[in-house]
Chains A and B, each alone.
Chain A
C-alpha cells in the first residue's frame, strides 16, 4: 500500500522561527511536491522536485525553500515564518512513468504561526 508520511500533523510556531516540514514516501517515486491549501484558494503548488537534488518553483515559492537529498525525502523550509504562512501543508508524490495528475498525498501538516 502506498504511503506518504509527514513529520507532524499539527505545528505551532512563532513569527520569525525557522520551520522544517518533512515528507517521506515509500513508493520509490521520482516526483515530489509541496502544496499549501487555504479556504477559498484551493491547493497551490509551492515547490516540486523531479529527482534528488533537483527542485523547481511552483506558483507561490516566495518565503519557502526545499531540500531533496534522498529520493524518498522532500523537506519544505520556512526560513522565517510569518503569520500569512499559517495554512495546511500537503506533500505529494508521483511516478515519473505515470500520469502527472495521479499524485499520492500525505495526511497534511496544519501549521499555525503566531
Chain B
C-alpha cells in the first residue's frame, strides 16, 4: 500500500493569515486530487493535478504538483472562516484501477474569526 503523508495534521490560524499544507509520498502518481470535507458531510473534490510542476488556482487556493509527481501542496491566501474543514489529498497510481487510489489522513484546518 502506498502512503500519502499529510502535514500538518491540525492547523488553527486567524482569519487573514496564509497557510500551506503538504501531501508527500515516495511513490509516483499519475494524478493527485484534493478534497475538502466539512463536519458531517462527504468529501468534495476541489482540484485534480496531473502534470509534474503543474499549478492550479481556485480563488484563494493554489495547488501545486511536485516535479516528480510524488508530492503536492495546497496554499491558502488570506484564509477565511469558510475555509475551515478537513483537507484530503488522494493519489492515483499509473494504470491502476479503482483500488489504486490512496488517501492521506487529512489536515484539519480551523480558521478563527
Decide if B42 touches A100 in the complex (CB within 8 Å): no
Decide if A59 touches B1 in the complex (CB within 8 Å): yes
Residues of chain B lying within 8 A (CB to CB) of residue A43: 43, 88, 103
Interface bits B74-113 vs A (CB < 8 Å: 1, else 0): 0000000000000010111000111111011110000000
Decide if A101 touches B105 in the complex (CB within 8 Å): no
Residues of chain A lying within 8 A (CB to CB) of residue B106: 42
Q: How large is the interface on A (under 10, 10 to 19, 20 to 34, 35 or more residues)?
A: 20 to 34
Interface residues of A (CB under 8 A from B): 4, 9, 31, 33, 40-43, 45, 48, 50, 56, 58-59, 90, 92, 94, 99-108, 110
Given A102-B33, A102-B48, A31–B42 Cβ distance below 8 Å? no
Interface residues of B (CB under 8 A from A): 1, 31-33, 35, 40-45, 48, 50, 88, 90-92, 96-101, 103-106
Given A40-B105, A42-B104, A42-B105, A101–B99 Cβ distance below 8 Å? no
By beta carbon, the residue of chain A nearest B4 is: A42
With the chains together, A1 CA to B92 CA distance in Å? Answer: 24
Decide if A100 touches B105 in the complex (CB within 8 Å): no
Tell which of A56, A92, A101, A108 has the most Cβ of chain B within 10 Å: A101
Decide if A41 touches B105 in the complex (CB within 8 Å): yes
Given A50-B98, A56-B99, A58-B99, A101–B32 Cβ distance below 8 Å? yes
